[in-house]
Structure 1
Amino acid sequence: MHDVVIVGAGPVGLFLACELGLAGCSVLVLEREPERHSPWKAYPLGMRGLSATSVEAFYRRGMLHPLLTASGVPSGGNPGTDEPSPPRNVGHFAGMMLDPAKVDVAALPFRLPSPAPESMLTSLEAVEAVLSERAAKLGVQIRRGVTVSAVAQTDESVVARAGEHEYAARWLVGCDGGRSTVRGLAGFDFVGTEPQFTGYTMLATIADPEKLRPGFNPTATGMYIQMAAEGHIGMLDFDGGTFDRSQQPTRDHLQAVLRRVSGTDVTLKDVHLASSFTDRAMQTTTYRQGRVLLAGDAAHIHPPFGGQGLNTGVGDALNLGWKLAATVHGDAPDELLDTYTRERHPIGAWVLDWTRAQTAVMRPDPHAQAIQAVIRDLLGTRDGTTYAFEKISGWSLRYDLGSEQPPLVGRNAPDLHLEDGTRLGDLMRDGRGVALDFSTDRRLHDSAMGWQSRIRYAAGPARNDLGFGAVLVRPDGIVAWAGDRDPDRAAFERAAGHWFGDPA
């Protein structure tokens, strides 16, 4: 029996598998598709944007360089100075592109320079290649061509059935996408809002591409997007989501939609690949039912604006991985696993509302277009662009870890840099929590040693300690506790016990 069975070998399932494997868990991943390679994962159809916090997660696990290489991206970040680097691109809101030059980097909370770029473009193929290689090195088993048809659980275990085979584990996690089989089989409630549009993405040969403008193009009847890659087109048709997604869109149908939303007589000579989606926005009411958990699109679906689905899923996996591993090993404090839903469900709900707001603004009616004009003006300001970037990048994320905590607590930790050259990101590669002690007398040393199998201790003056004397960082990079210039050892021990259980 495995410790954990994960259903779904996409980026979320693989990232979670790597987190569990890094912690020494026995992990089996079951994937419905027989092959990893697909044109839908390769460039250009598989192109995705990784937010700052997602890129940071790859950096902290030693996977940033392989990801940059696989993505064909030059090394980014700005680790050699005392100031964070400005972002290279910051995405869009409802098709309105944000200007990187207008981002006030100094206003972002607790930012420090890091080898990780503020964002990057990659592909699903590149992400999965890096994660698959990492998973194999960690002993994770991946079985492809396996379709789960039943899930049954007891107080002690859970079994996934596929054909004539049964796969037993102590825990099962559904990472099997927006049409999750695990979600339905385990009886999760899935609630939300119905669609207002049908979206299409396609790779086509266009007879007269000059009739279409590049970039995002809102029109009186919808929107079309001409991507950088030749023939890569996106469309939003505000038809109430009535197109039957069980059908493959034909060339004639796609041409009719493109002509309607573009207001041109453009002609599609051939359609090589095409699919449809909607802005249906749904979320499970909880991310856990007994020994079954959900992550990524299995737990929340929404339109694919700005790569929010991939980034939210990586955040789910990062949050769940160390908590589930601690539970498997018997190191977890009471209720630790319940904090997964408590912390991540509000993030998923926010993403759904963020995409709903964009849908409302993009509607082809006078009221929406009036609102769009107001938002465009706001996004043209430094404060407006910085606000939107802070939301999109993930730097605004803060878990509620107690109202009496310093403002750093609950946030993604900045890449604190000791004067001896040690970086927080380097200390997090083994998946343990980190205690950084900046006090002159190494005050927390003896206390931290009690958790040395779960917390890595490092001490010394920092190039920029942000005014703190010590910080405790969870394995997912979230600051769990921060002490002043004269850190309180007892307060550190309470925080460590709360998140990491009793000392060894």
Structure 2
Amino acid sequence: MRRAVHDVVIAGAGPVGLFLACELGLAGCSVLVLERDPEPHSPWKAMPLGMRGLSVTSVEAFYRRGLLQPLLTASGGTDDLGADPDADEPPPPRGVGHFAGMMLDPAKVDAGALPFRLPGPVTQGVMTSLEAVGTVLAERAAELGVEIKRGLGVSAVTQDADGVLVRAGDHEYAARWLVGCDGGRSTVRGLAGFGFAGTEPQFTGYLMLATVADPDQLNPGFNLTPTGMYLRMAVPGHLGVLDFDGGAFDRSRPPTREHLQTVLRRVSGTGVTVSDVRFASTFTDRAMQATTYRRGRVLLAGDAAHIHSPLGAQGLNLGLGDALNLGWKLAATVHGHAPDGLLDTYTSERHPIGAAALDWTRAQAAAMRPDPHSQAVQALIRDLIGTRDVTTYVYGKLSGSAIRYDLGSDQPLVGRNAPEFRLRDGTRLGDLLRDGHGAVLDFSPGRSLAEPARRWKSRLRYAAGPARNDLGLGAVLVRPDGTVAWVGDRDPGRVTFERAASRWFGTPANGAAR
């Protein structure tokens, strides 16, 4: 194997690959991104076809890296996310989403039942586009010294104990690590020999931008019918259709105007006329997942690691969560200060989250099937989502607030995304996480963690003082990805803190932990 030129090569310059590149670049790694598409812009990435919803936790990740305002500007939306810096409680959500095409009422979310919420700059999700997210991340990646080469798809991968050799076009690139972020049909996944297992599709989905001569025949929003589901979106002619054909049509042939009209008429039960089809594509609810997210020096993230239907807007958020979880762990490994087994926690933490997302979309497909049994289940779900408890439960899933990693602690905050703690001097947790380090918030009167925290000062940011709301805690250790790694009581123990810091941040620079 030739000597590595880059610390990490990333295959794929979509949002997941670029977010990971930014995380690695922020940590001082040498990063090369290879993208097979020669141009970053496409109608499928721009509005309306590229429209995507970012969950609260995804938007918070942008905020904690100083990218919230660029994201809002690029998305063309309002700067008002409902945040009130002087509020004692976060506001209720403005929107909740849907389950299997059945819309939920945000007024029925019990905000008090959501775990560990505090007011902060991010309280709502954001509607954006793949193009907007990609533009923001590409600009930040360039600022951080990340190199992006377009028009170069990976064609061969060779690895040994020391590194990876990647062929793309007529070139070979050597690196210490390779991460496949190259989509659902990932070349890296196949070349590196990852297993990919799951379930076959129930439906063929269609997305189109066309002229509809008589659009008033179609009801706006999601519409479940005895033969499938159709979605009429706000942009005229922007339609989605689910046809429960077992996925037979997908990739079998191009969707013609005649075929699109036939399927739409059958599913909608109308005589609607479709003409002037500008764009059309198909997809399915095939749900597959890599059996592991790491093989040697090759890792997977985003759609390369898991594919599923777009029901519930889980895909982009799931991939960004992968990148956020992997970035700091891979950077610590590159720099040689990762504790034993840190990189393996990427699979152990994210694989169950991916599996749950696949099941979430499978459940929705099952409820939408046009058969008597599924219709009965659908009626039951409609009754349940009319209740506060179930609406709150679904919102917790869609917002990301329900995600919790098993970090081996019974403390209910450990493993969750950290609340936006705010000290009385105005310091926020997001301020401390801006540069990609971890953070220690010491609320204890004696500032008992000041001295031990300094032993990890190159990897942890320390802040002390009373908080506007400390949730009854004495101290909190937060990983770079915003996950709570340890919680101390009113008199936090130095020994337990040092054990937790050593577990996630390795041996301190000035000697072994006590």
Using the alignment, how far apart are the partners of 2:71 and 2:53 within structure 1? 13
**1:13 counterpart residue number:** 17
Contact 1:148 1:160 in 2 (8 A): yes
Give 1:247 shift: 2.8
1:340 paired with 2:327, answer no
2:235 equivalent in structure 1? 229
Equivalent residue runs for 1:426-437 within 5 Å:
426-437=431-442
Q: Which of 111, 122, 137 is the equivalent residue of 1:116?
A: 122
- Name the SS for the 1:149 alignment partner: strand
Whether 2:455 is the aligned partner of 1:450: answer: yes
For the residue of structure 2 that corresponds to 1:225, the secondary structure is strand
Whether the aligned pair in 1 keeps the contact of 2:164 and 2:175 (CA below 8 Å) is: yes
Preserved CA contact (<8 Å) 2:439 2:478: yes
What whole-Å deviation, never above 9, does each CA across 1:430-463 have from its counterpart, x for those lacking one?
Answer: 0000000011121101100000000000000000
> Secondary structure of the residue that 1:348 maps to in structure 2?
helix
Deviations 1:187-232 (A, max 9, x none): 0000000001000000001111111111111111111110111100
Distance 1:260 1:367 in 2: 21
Structure-1 separation of matches of 2:147 and 2:92: 40
The letter for the 1-side match of 2:16 is V
Which residue, out of 68, 72, 78, partners 2:76? Answer: 72
Q: Does 1:318 align with 2:324?
A: yes
2:29 is matched with which residue?
25
**TM superposition shift of 1:306:** 2.2
Query: In angstroms, what is the RMSD of aligned CA positions?
Result: 0.8
- TM-score using structure 2 length: 0.97
| Alpha-carbon distance in structure 1 between the residues aligned to 2:122 and 2:397 | 18
Choose the corresponding residue for 1:288, options 294, 308, 319.
294
Q: What whole-Å deviation, never above 9, does each CA across 1:289-308 have from its counterpart, x for those lacking one?
A: 00000000000000011220
* Helix, strand or coil at the partner of 2:154: coil
d(CA) in 2 for partners of 1:397, 1:482: 18
Letter in 2 for 1:84: P
Q: Give the counterpart of 2:444 among 439, 452, 455.
A: 439
Q: In structure 1, how many angstroms separate the alpha carbons of the residues matched to 2:314 and 2:473?
A: 32
Corresponding position: 1:197 with 2:203: yes
Contact (CA 8 Å) 1:433, 1:456: kept in 2 or not?
A: yes
Does the CA-based 8 Å contact 2:250-2:284 persist in structure 1? no
Following superposition, the deviation at residue 65 of structure 1 comes to 0.8
Q: Deviations over 1:385-438 (max 9, x none)?
A: 0000001111011111114x4111110000000000010011110000000001
Deviation at 1:163, TM superposition (A): 2.4
* Structure 1 residue 5 displacement after superposition: 0.3
Kindly provide the amino acid, as one letter, of the partner of residue 242 in structure 1. Answer: A
Following superposition of structure 1 onto structure 2, how do residues 340-359 of structure 1 map, counting pairs within 5 Å? 340-359=346-365
Query: Residue deviations 1:322-368, cap 9 Å, x none?
Result: 00000000010000000000000000000000000000000011111
CA distance in 2, matches of 1:369, 1:147: 44
Provide the C-alpha distance between the structure 2 equivalents of 1:183 and 1:450, rounded to a whole number of angstroms: 40
CA distance in structure 2 between the partners assigned to 1:246 and 1:334 by the alignment: 47
C-alpha distance in 2, partners of 1:397/1:222? 31
Q: Aligned-pair distance for 1:73? A: 2.1
Shift of 1:246: 5.4
Aligned match for 1:271, one of 267, 272, 277 = 277
Q: What is the match of residue 214 of structure 1? A: 220
Whichever residue aligns with residue 8 of structure 1, its letter is G
Offset at 1:77?
3.8
Identify the match of residue 487 of structure 2 among 467, 482, 489: 482
Match of 1:145 in 2: 151
Report Cα offsets for 1:66-87 as digits up to 9, x if no partner: 1111112222142320101111
2:132 equivalent to 1:126 = yes
What is the aligned partner in structure 2 of residue 425 from structure 1?
430
Residue of structure 2 equivalent to 1:40? 44
Q: 1 CA distance for matches of 2:77 and 2:417?
A: 24
Q: Contact (CA 8 Å) 2:204, 2:250: kept in 1 or not?
A: no
8 Å CA contact 2:328–2:481 kept in 1: the answer is yes
Match of 2:188 in 1: 182
Between the aligned residues of both structures, percent identity stands at: 76
- Is contact 1:6-1:13 (8 Å) kept? yes
User: Quick one: distance in 2 between partners of 1:242 and 1:445?
Assistant: 62
Aligned residues of 1:77 and 1:114 also touching (Cα < 8 A)? no
Classify the secondary structure of the residue corresponding to 2:436.
coil
For residues 221 and 407 of structure 1, what CA distance do their matches in structure 2 show? 44
Question: How far apart in 1 are the matches of 2:120 and 2:208?
Answer: 36
TM-score under structure 1 length normalisation:
0.99
2-side partners of 1:469 and 1:118: how far apart? 28
Q: Give the count of matched residue pairs.
A: 503
* 2:87 counterpart of 1:81: yes
2:178 is paired with a residue whose SS is: strand
CA contact (8 A) 1:472 1:479 kept: yes
Which residue of the partner structure matches residue 379 of structure 1? Answer: 385
User: How much does 1:108 deviate?
Assistant: 0.5
186-195 or 66-75, which deviates more: 66-75
Looking at structure 1, the residues matched to 407 and 291 of structure 2 have their Cα atoms a distance apart, in angstroms, of 21
Deviates more, 1:242-251 or 1:384-393: 242-251
| 1:95 aligned onto 2:114 | no
Q: Distance in 2 between matches of 1:196 and 1:121?
A: 28
Contact 1:49 1:306 in 2 (8 A): no
Deviates most, 234-243 or 64-73: 64-73
Letter in 2 for 1:390: G
Is 2:396 the partner of 1:390? Answer: yes
Q: How far does the alpha carbon of each residue in 1:88-140 deviate from its partner, in whole angstroms, 9 at most, with x for none? A: 11111000111111111111100001101321111111111110111010000
Letter in structure 2 aligned against 1:14: L
- Counterpart CA distance in 2 for 1:252 and 1:149 is 37
Q: d(CA) in 2 for partners of 1:246 and 1:379?
A: 37
Secondary structure of 1:352 counterpart: helix
